[in-house]
Amino acid sequence: AKAVVTYLRAQLQLARAPELALLDKKAKELGDIPMSETTRLTKEGFEQAKRRQSFVSAKSLKAELAEHVTADAREAAAIALYNEATSTLKAGIDDAFDKDEFDKAAELQAKMEEEKLKACWRLMKGEPATVLSSPGDLKKWPGVTLNAKNQVVGIDWSNQRLTGEVPPQFFDFANLTELELSGNDNLVCSDPGRLKEKLGSNWTSPPPPPEAPPKAPDGALSFAEAGARPPQPKSAPQGAPPPSPRGAPP
């Protein structure tokens, strides 16, 4: 069983490599990448751990910080690739309509729909091998429903191990009427109201992002950051009478 798991992981890495190489190359072209809130908080925790000379925590947080920085870079690259592709396609569609080349316009419109799917899938860190292996064929995208004009009208990406936040690129699907994202335990939605306004009851929302733990005073680690539980009130010994209200006679 271990050998099978190892083999499948190796195959997944091979399938993922071209996609990640594309994103990493684009990220290098972009230069400075904005830091996400998660990355910023991890960096603060890393700096605090170094000041406190907590070497075990510092080592763990450094590795975590590197992962977040890479994720930020790939997210920025995915957005840049999407913006570039859709801008070029939109210009091509407008030009085709001006020349009455309607078949070409329809072909470019289908490519536009695919770029929207790619962007959403990349931003939620979907496995590239699952859907990016058949470029140019919308019908091979799992969970995607098309109308007669090859426009996306429904997406069912439930139980796909998607992570991060539901991207705003879903709003770019002009004809989308159904969206199913349940079963992705590490996926959150910051603006479920906007999607519900667009889709009505045909929208299954992942949970909202968790609230950040209370910030500790400068130079100190909160219980959440330190991985410890806050002190709990001591329970009275079994059989002991309850404490008397303050000021009451014993």
Q: Can you tell me whether residue 188 is helix, strand or coil?
A: strand
pTM given for the model:
0.70
- Cα–Cα dist 96/66, whole Å: 45
Rg (alpha carbons) of the chain, rounded to whole number: 25
pLDDT in tens, 65-97: 999 999 899 889 999 999 999 999 999 999 999
Please name the residue that has the structure tokens 């410890």. Answer: 228
- Cα–Cα dist 91/94, whole Å: 5
Cβ–Cβ contacts within 10 Å for residue 29, how many? 8
The DSSP secondary-structure symbol of 236 reads: P
- Cα–Cα dist 54/219, whole Å: 13
pLDDT in tens, 145-190: 999 888 999 999 888 888 888 888 998 999 998 888 888 888 888 7
pLDDT of 134 higher than 60: no
- Cα–Cα dist 159/156, whole Å: 9
Percent of the chain with pLDDT over 70: 69
pLDDT at position 6 is 63
pLDDT in tens, 8-18: 556 555 667 77
- Cα dihedral sign, 91-21-122-159: positive
Contact present, 171 and 198 (Cβ < 8 Å)? yes
Work out the pLDDT band at 128, boundaries 50, 70, 90: low
- Cα–Cα dist 32/76, whole Å: 10
What is the token pair recorded at 125? 């860190």
- Cα–Cα dist 10/129, whole Å: 12
Q: Among candidates 37, 36, 34, 43, which has minimal Cα distance to 225?
A: 43
DSSP 62-83: HHHHHHHHHHHHHHHHHHHHHH
Do strands 163-165 and 144-146 pair parallel, antiparallel, or not at all (unpaired)? unpaired
What is the token pair recorded at 226? 């330190």
Q: Among candidates 29, 129, 41, which has minimal Cα distance to 80?
A: 29
Which amino acid, 151?
Q
